[in-house]
Amino acid sequence: MDVLEAIYTRRSIRKFSGEPVSDQDLEAVFRAGFHAPSAHNGQPWEFVIIKDKNKFDEIAKVHPYAKMLPQAEVCIIVCGDKNKQTMTGLLIEDCSAAIENILLAAHGLGLGAVWCGLYPITQLTKKIKKVCSLPNNIIPVGMVVLGQKGEEKKTADRYDATKLHYEGW
Ligand SMILES: Cc1cc2nc3c(=O)[nH]c(=O)nc-3n(C[C@H](O)[C@H](O)[C@H](O)COP(=O)(O)O)c2cc1C
């Protein structure tokens, strides 16, 4: 898929067919995450891959907007390593770039995915840290819930010329 087509047609998919996702597709998705830009090229991300349905249920119980999780195949918890990027703002931006790359790669491969926020909601990050046994220096930034699509969504044109401010506001 052409890169602009991928960007313009990507949508959050919250219904999944239950068909498996191949290891080859998953590797391509991770590779896309690793290729994201990062401040000072610090690449401070770590990806925790969850496929265990019991863990899905545990997370879905506490996450108010991740009720689609038990129907998905894979949950990628995108984490940031505070030891690799000490400025939290930059750490979150780096990991967010990785998440977007992952979403676009998933879409390009014909998979469905949705970004579910974690940071800075303490109640959620605490729970994820426990479920995934994360060390203290690792912040769970967001999760990508992934699977074979169980719904199709139309693209929406969001171009808004009123939000373009040339040479200043
Ligand atoms: C930081 C962030 C957190 C999000 N958290 C959730 C979430 O918890 N649950 C969910 O279903 N969607 C979540 N989304 C997806 C947005 O709802 C979605 O991107 C937005 O409605 C636009 O729709 P689209 O992705 O189909 O273009 C999140 C997106 C971002 C960027």
Fold of 3-151: NADH Oxidase (3.40.109)
pLDDT for the residue 1: 83
pLDDT for the residue 31: 98
Centre of ligand 1 from the C-alpha of residue 34, in Å:
21
Pocket of ligand 1 (CB under 6 A): 11-12, 14, 65-66, 114-117, 142
pTM recorded for the entire structure: 0.97
**Distance from chain centroid for Cα 106:** 10
How far, in Å, are 160, 163, 164, 165 from residue 168 at the CA level? 17, 12, 9, 6
Task: Name which of 114, 116, 141 is nearest 45 in CA terms.
Answer: 141
pLDDT for the residue 73: 97
Centre of ligand 1 from the C-alpha of residue 67, in Å:
13
pLDDT for the residue 44: 98
pLDDT for the residue 165: 98
16, 65, 145: residue to mutate for ligand 1 pocket, most atoms within 8 A of CB: 65
Take atom 3 of ligand 1 and give the residue whose Cα is closest. 117
> Mapping DSSP to helix (H, G, I), strand (E, B) and coil, where does residue 162 land?
helix
pLDDT for the residue 98: 98
pLDDT less than 50: residues of the chain: none
Task: Name which of 50, 79, 58 is nearest 127 in CA terms.
Answer: 58
**The tokens of 29 are what?**
């998705």
Centre of ligand 1 from the C-alpha of residue 120, in Å:
15
pLDDT for the residue 115: 98
Centre of ligand 1 from the C-alpha of residue 167, in Å:
31
